[in-house]
Amino acid sequence: MNIGWIGLGNMGVPMATNLIKAGHQVTVYNRTLDKTEPLLALGAAYAESPAQLFSTCEVVITMLSDDDAVREVYTKEDGILAGADNGTIAIDMSTVSPETSRYIAKRCAERGIGFLDAPVSGSVKPATEGTLIILVGGEERDYEMAKPIFEALGKMSLHLGENGAGSNAKLAINLFLGITVQGIAEAVMFAKNKGIDTEDMMTIINESACGSAISRLKTHAILAGEFPAAFALKHMAKDLRLAFQNGARTPLAETVYGTYQHALESELGDLDVMGIMRHLTGPGAE
């Protein structure tokens, strides 16, 4: 397929790379031009604006930071909608609010194009390995058209209902992730205060029934006390805010929402999500 790709951040680069590896013809656009270089080196073409992508592509995909970025890239003067043609589809794989997904779907329908909200569960490693879980909202016929793309990007895709359903499911799984990450941090900190070595505690967690892909994935960062972003804390804070605004008002949801917002206010947003540990232990703590 001829696929346009917008957004070459931590996730966008490995995902677009996998589309090229699967044999698709990919044309990329990124606000910061030099981030297109690794994709151009693999054979991708380059577009000067989001609108230009639909002149060669039947599908255009966005993988952008947040609601504001998605709304801007779709609706600005040289945005996606300006170039949209009948029979094409747009897919947004960013994590945004269900309201934004439904709004963009409506604007796409007005232009005669299909739209899927298709956020992903999984971070940079599954994005690189093509093992993401893709959560889709939208029309069945658009989902069928997009399936070859999802097969190149993930180990599974689930069609969950109308536009907004993918975004709702994504907020739910990230609520669980936020709670889990904070839970790991608090268990390790409590153990350390009681004299239990952190390496021993991570072994206990990872070998127990509570051990999970996320605890194993973050063990190295916890032991090193270094948190370079794979999934930035600011994105988790955004996802928990979206869940909260969409009615997640349960005890744990309210607590993690507060913790990550405070970490954001302490300017820890560019750390990895596991950097919540630095916030909980206080400035300068390991």
Q: Where does this chain bind ligand NAP (CB under 6 A)? A: 7-12, 30-32, 35, 63-66, 69, 72-73, 94-95, 120, 123-124, 230-232, 235
> Which residue number, 115 or 231, has a Cβ lying nearer to ligand NAP?
231
Tokens describing residue 93: 């794989």
Alpha carbon distance 77, 95 (integer Å): 23
> Which residue number, 67 or 201, has a Cβ lying nearer to ligand NAP?
67
Minimum distance of ligand NAP from residue 281's CB (angstroms): 23
Minimum distance of ligand NAP from residue 22's CB (angstroms): 19
Catalytic residue among 35, 155, 170, 218: 170
| Spatial contact of 234 and 264, defined as CB atoms under 8 Å apart | yes
Minimum distance of ligand NAP from residue 133's CB (angstroms): 10
Alpha carbon distance 117, 121 (integer Å): 13
Beta-strand pair 2-6/59-62: parallel
Alpha carbon distance 89, 58 (integer Å): 7
Minimum distance of ligand NAP from residue 14's CB (angstroms): 9
> Which residue number, 6 or 201, has a Cβ lying nearer to ligand NAP?
6
Q: How far is CA 89 from the centre of its chain?
A: 20
Minimum distance of ligand NAP from residue 124's CB (angstroms): 5
Minimum distance of ligand NAP from residue 184's CB (angstroms): 16
Alpha carbon distance 122, 104 (integer Å): 24
> Which residue number, 125 or 141, has a Cβ lying nearer to ligand NAP?
125
Q: Is 106 a catalytic residue?
A: no
The answer for 79, left when phi > 0, alpha when psi is -120 to 50, beta otherwise, is: beta
Residue whose CB is nearest to ligand NAP in the complex, by number: 9
> Which residue number, 138 or 201, has a Cβ lying nearer to ligand NAP?
138
Alpha carbon distance 30, 36 (integer Å): 6
3-state SS class at 65: coil
| CA distances from residue 97 to 11, 208, 212, 262 in whole angstroms, order as listed | 18, 35, 27, 21
Cβ atoms within 10 Å of 102's Cβ, excluding its own: 18
Beta-strand pair 25-29/132-137: unpaired
> Which residue number, 173 or 189, has a Cβ lying nearer to ligand NAP?
173
Active site residues: 170
